[in-house]
Structure 1
């Protein structure tokens, strides 16, 4: 029999790790002294300790390690799935590092710019959740991204040229939309894209597409690197609210905040309007 100290040295596992694996049922001592509680191991248990170390070094959870040891015929498949998950996490971490570096380097700040008059094709997006938590927010992002891509496809199939990237904005443009949003039934978002031509020159479009002609106006814009998150959205709102340079009779209309999702980040813009007299 080997004491826990001897077994620890042989397997390069600390006594604390051995106690943890015992508590988790991964590596149960061959014998435990009822009077002293001292743990003893056999030489034959070295192989199991080695396998545990191999699997834990991959980053596998205790639960997965236990399953791989209990079902050795599934061990390779479990390792493959774990490898895929590790790769996904590494890509996500790399993206996060890139976004964090970009935010700290760029110090995103609002900028005033003029937007020319244009023709816009819009479509309501049903089925988006409210985004009350991270899961809902991510679901809404997926739905809106797909809806924007579908809008561009529909417009192009109708023979209309899209100008620039599509964007999304809150569905607060009509009294009916306001009521549906306030009632919590939605739709909560609209996707839009600028197009070439005027309403009179556009060919027939699908019935659920809306043609709009916003006038030229000023807007405050801020670019936030990385993927769109609830926290970034709120940060953008706060920075736009606190932004200069606006004189005393103008304000940022956040009800019409629009977001253009780009490969490297999100451009958020809100029109600057004069306060009613």
Structure 2
């Protein structure tokens, strides 16, 4: 019989790891002194220890290791499944590293810009979650992205030319405002695209699309690198609100915040309004 210290040295597993594997039922000592708790191992347990170490070195959970040991015929399939998950996690980590680096390198700050007058075609996006958690936010992003592609296609079908990138905004400012946005019952978002078209072409648009003239205005805009997230959306709002003071009693109308999705990030902008007298 081998002491836990001897077995530890032979298998290159620490005594702490051996005690953990014992507690988890992966590698039960051949003998345990009931009075002292002293553990002893048999030489033929070396192979079991080796298999456990191999599987744990892959990053497998104890649960998966136990399954692989209990059903050796499934071990390769379990390793394949684990490998897929490792690659998924590694890809997510690589994306997170790129996003973190881009934000710290760019140091995004708001800038004041002037936007000319334009004609805009908009569409309400029904069934959009409010994004109260990460999963709901991702579903909302996918829904809004699909609606954006649909809007552009429908506009182009009737020969109306799109100018610039589509945008999305909370559905507070439409010709028929739906205040149910606030309690989650109505369309949470709308998508819109600037267009160039004659009056006749605009009249040919489907009735559920909204057309409005946007006057020339000043905006505060900020570009946030990486994919759109709930935390970044909140950060953008804070930075716009805390931007340099505006003169003549003007303020940033966050309720009319718009976003343009780019390949390398999100451009958010909000109009600068005059305080009422």
What is the Cα deviation at residue 175 of structure 1? 8.3
1:235 equivalent in alignment to 2:247: no
The answer to whether the 8 Å contact 2:221/2:268 transfers is yes
Retained in 2: the 8 A contact 1:160–1:203?
no
Counterpart in 1 of 2:4? 4
The answer for the alignment partner of 2:154 in structure 1 is: 154
Which residue matches 1:263?
263
Partner SS state of residue 202, structure 1? helix
Counterpart of 1:117 in structure 2 is 117
SS at 2:84's partner residue?
Answer: helix
TM-score, normalised relative to structure 2: 0.93
Deviation at 1:118, TM superposition (A): 1.6
Structure 2 match to 1:24:
24
Distance 1:149 1:80, change over 3 A: farther
Distance in 1 of aligned mates of 2:69 and 2:81: 16
Q: Matched residue of 1:201: which SS?
A: helix
Shift of 1:108: 0.5
- SS of structure 1 residue aligned to 2:267: strand
Normalised by the length of structure 1, the TM-score is 0.93
Deviations 1:206-252 (A, max 9, x none): 33222222111111000111122222111111111111251142111
Q: Which shifted more, 68-77 or 150-159?
A: 150-159
Q: CA deviation at 1:149?
A: 2.1
Which aligned pairs between 1:163-182 and structure 2 lie closer than 5 A?
163-174=163-174, 177-182=177-182
How does 1:89-238 map onto structure 2 within 5 Å?
89-174=89-174, 177-202=177-202, 204-238=204-238
Once residues 246 and 189 of structure 2 are traced to their aligned partners in structure 1, the CA distance between those partners, rounded to angstroms, is: 28
Decide which moves more: 106-115 or 69-78: 69-78
Aligned residues: 277
Query: Aligned partners of 1:207, 1:175: CA distance in 2, in Å?
Result: 13
Structure 2 portions without partners, runs of 5+: none
Runs of at least 5 residues in structure 1 that lack an aligned partner in the other structure: none
Question: In 2, distance between residues paired with 1:67 and 1:160?
Answer: 60
